[in-house]
Amino acid sequence: MTRTWRLVVGSDDAGLEYKDLIAGDLQGDPRVTAVVDVGVNGDEHTPYPDIGAAAARIVAEGRADRAVLVCGTGIGMAISANKVAGVRATTAHDSYSTERSVLSNDCQVLTLGQRVIGPELARRLVREWLDYEFDPESPSHAKVERINALESARGEAGGAR
């Protein structure tokens, strides 16, 4: 049986077109059981840090399995989502990075740049990303645990920086 996913999507106004396109794809994908859209919509102008953090919190709280976020470059969304404890977010603009983000790093958040890649590549990367699942028996597990330990140590030292 194929794994199913509960997903969050979000963007700032620089990523709205791709976010809407990807959300439509996800709603029609049999691997996806739920899609929560945290914005922006229409003429909203919510800054990307607010959207990235909101989506990441939903993942961290276990209300969704993963998130796809879009801004101009994908970078600001990744930085914002990574400020939420327990979340690993990455920007990927090619198939190999998308694959390794999950298989090597157990990233739950994929961020894309609408000003960096074309819409068909963005859609393809999200489709491919849904096929990957982290293997806790892989050699990468120990590295992900080290990342988690760094995050815990940062929290003990006074919170996110």
Q: What is the Cα–Cα distance from 137 to 140, expressed in whole angstroms?
A: 8
Structure tokens at 83: 């400020």
**Positions of the chain with pLDDT under 50:** 160-161
**pLDDT at site 43:** 87
pLDDT confidence of residue 161: 44
pLDDT value at position 135? Answer: 93
Decide: residue 132, CB within 10 A, 0-12 exposed, 13-18 middle, 19+ buried. Answer: middle
Q: pLDDT by residue (tens digit) across 132-153?
A: 999 999 999 999 999 999 988 8
Q: Provide the annotated active-site residues.
A: 71
Query: What is the reported pLDDT for 54?
Result: 98
Helices (H), 28-139: 48-60, 75-81, 95-103, 119-131
